[in-house]
Amino acid sequence: MYYQIINKSCIDVIKVNFIHEKVDLTFLDPPFNQQKDYAFHNDNMNEQEYWEMMKKVCQYTNEITNKGGAIYFMQREKNTEFVLKVLRETGWVFQNLIIWKKKTSAVPVANKYGKHFQIIVYATKGEKVKTFHRLRINPELPASYKIQRENGVFVTDVWDDIRELTSGYFAGNEAIRAENGDRFHKQQTPLALLLRIILTSSKIGNTIFDPFAGTGTTLVVAHQLQRNAIGIEIDPNNANCIKERLQNIREADLIQKYYKDYICTENLSEIWGDEFEVQTKNTTQLPFCIPTTKSPYTTAGENVYSQPPDTITNRMAQAMGNC
Ligand SMILES: C[S@@+](CC[C@H](N)C(=O)[O-])C[C@H]1O[C@@H](n2cnc3c(N)ncnc32)[C@H](O)[C@@H]1O
C-alpha cells in the first residue's frame, strides 16, 4: 500500500502526464470559484476559464481511470448543469446526483429558497460499474415509526447524516487548527463523507485519486482503509499538512468510530478490511500549522513505496522541468 502527495498544480501534472498508475476512484473537490481566499489559487476566475480547467482535470482523470472506475465531483448546486456537461463531454457516464444536505441552517437568499445542500455527481468510466458496495446505515427512526428496523436501510442519493465542518465549535476536533485556534483550511471535508465514497466505490488495494487534495482527507481515509492514494495539492503548506496528517494520524482522524454506522452492511469486514494499526497523535493541532516555505515536489508514506522516495522525486523533477 502506498500514498503519494504531489505538491504541484494538477494542471502542470496533467501537462506532463506524470501519473503512471491507473486509478479506480477519484474525489474531485476543487475550489468553487466563489472568491474564497486561497494562497496559491485565484478563486475568481473567468467562468469559461474555470470550466475549461475542470474539463482538463476530468478528461485526464478519465484517461488514468480503470474501466468501470468512478468519479465523485462535488460542487455548488447552482453549477449542477456545468458539472454534468463537463463530465459527459469528457467521457464519464452519469450514475447519480447526490444531494449532500447540510446539518447547519440554510443560507438565506433574497427572492429564492434558502440553500441547504451541495451536490456530488457520481459517474463512471463506461456504463458497467466496476465496484459498487450497497452500504446499509441505520438512521434514527422518524417519531411516527413504531417498529425498529431489523437491518437498517440502503444509503440513497440523499445524504443528510454527515455533518459539514463549519467554523466554531461545530467543527469539533476533526477540524485542523492553526496555533491561534483558527481553522487551518476552511474547506476541509469531513472524514465521514470520504468514508462513504471510498467504501462504496472501491476495494482494498485499489487506488484513489484526489487532484485538489487540500488537507488530504481523501488520503487519510484511503490509507486507513488499505487503499493506495495519490493527492495533488498546489499549496506547499497544505501539502506539508497532508504529509504530517498521514505520518501521525490524530485520534480525531481515526475512522474506526464510524464502523458501527455501517454494521448492517453485508460483507462489511471485507469492504473495510482488518483493523488497521495506525500511529496516533492525541492532539488536534499539528506542527504543519506553522507556515512553511518548504515545498517538496513529492512526499510519501514510509515503507509504502514500490519505488524509493528519491526515485519519485527525481522522476517528478525531470518530468516537470520548469513548468
Ligand atoms: C476545496 S479545497 C479541497 C479540500 C479537501 N477536500 C480537504 O478535505 O481538505 C481545494 C484545494 O485545491 C487546491 N488547489 C487549487 N488549485 C489547485 C491546482 N491547480 N492544483 C492542485 N491543487 C489546487 C487549493 O489549495 C485547496 O486546498
Read off the pLDDT band of 316 (50, 70, 90): very low
Spatial distance between the Cα atoms of 208 and 90, rounded to a whole number of angstroms: 19
Query: In terms of residues, how long is the chain?
Result: 323
Spatial distance between the Cα atoms of 245 and 185, rounded to a whole number of angstroms: 13
Cβ burial, residue 83 (10 Å; 0-12/13-18/19+): buried
Q: What is the position in ligand 1's atom list of the atom closest to the CA of 235?
A: 25
Q: What is the position in ligand 1's atom list of the atom closest to the CA of 40?
A: 25
**pTM exceeds 0.85 for this model:** yes
Angle between helices 217-224 and 191-201 (to 10 degrees): 50
Spatial distance between the Cα atoms of 310 and 316, rounded to a whole number of angstroms: 10
Cβ burial, residue 66 (10 Å; 0-12/13-18/19+): middle
Read off the pLDDT band of 134 (50, 70, 90): very high
Read off the pLDDT band of 130 (50, 70, 90): very high
Identify whether the C-beta of residue 323 lies closer than 8 Å to the C-beta of residue 15. Answer: yes
Q: What is the pLDDT of residue 64?
A: 98
With residue 10 as reference, give the H or E element that holds it.
Answer: helix 10-15
**Dihedrals φ, ψ of 122, to 5°?**
-100, 125
pLDDT in tens, 53-108: 999 999 999 999 999 999 999 999 999 999 999 999 999 999 999 999 988 888 88
Please state, as a whole number, how many other Cβ atoms lie within 10 Å of the Cβ of residue 77: 14
Cβ burial, residue 62 (10 Å; 0-12/13-18/19+): middle
- Strand pairing partners for 158? 99
Identify whether the C-beta of residue 224 lies closer than 8 Å to the C-beta of residue 250. Answer: no
Identify whether the C-beta of residue 139 lies closer than 8 Å to the C-beta of residue 161. Answer: yes
Spatial distance between the Cα atoms of 191 and 174, rounded to a whole number of angstroms: 8
Q: What is the mean pLDDT of residues 161-171?
A: 80
Q: What is the mean pLDDT of residues 140-154?
A: 88
DSSP 75-144: EEGGGHHHHHHHHHHTTEEEEEEEEEE-SSPPBP-TTSPPB-EEEEEEEEESSS-S-----EE-PPPPTT
Mutate to test the pocket of ligand 1, among 10, 166, 233 (most ligand atoms within 8 A of CB): 233
Amino acid 154 reads F
Spatial distance between the Cα atoms of 196 and 310, rounded to a whole number of angstroms: 34
**Residue 138 has which C-alpha cell?**
441505520
Q: Which domain does 138 fall in, by range?
A: 3-320
Spatial distance between the Cα atoms of 85 and 75, rounded to a whole number of angstroms: 13
Spatial distance between the Cα atoms of 218 and 191, rounded to a whole number of angstroms: 8
Q: Is 212 in the pocket of ligand 1 (CB under 6 A)?
A: yes
CATH number of the domain bearing residue 222: 3.40.50.150
187: CA distance to ligand 1 center in Å? 8
Q: What is the pLDDT of residue 291?
A: 37
Cell 496559491 locates to: 40
Residue nearest atom 12 of ligand 1, based on CA coordinates: 212
Read off the pLDDT band of 37 (50, 70, 90): confident
Q: What is the pLDDT of residue 142?
A: 84
32: CA distance to ligand 1 center in Å? 10
Spatial distance between the Cα atoms of 311 and 323, rounded to a whole number of angstroms: 19
Q: Is 285 helix (H, G, I), strand (E, B) or coil?
A: strand
User: How many domains does the structure of the chain reveal?
Assistant: 1
Read off the pLDDT band of 307 (50, 70, 90): very low
Q: Is 189 in the pocket of ligand 1 (CB under 6 A)?
A: yes
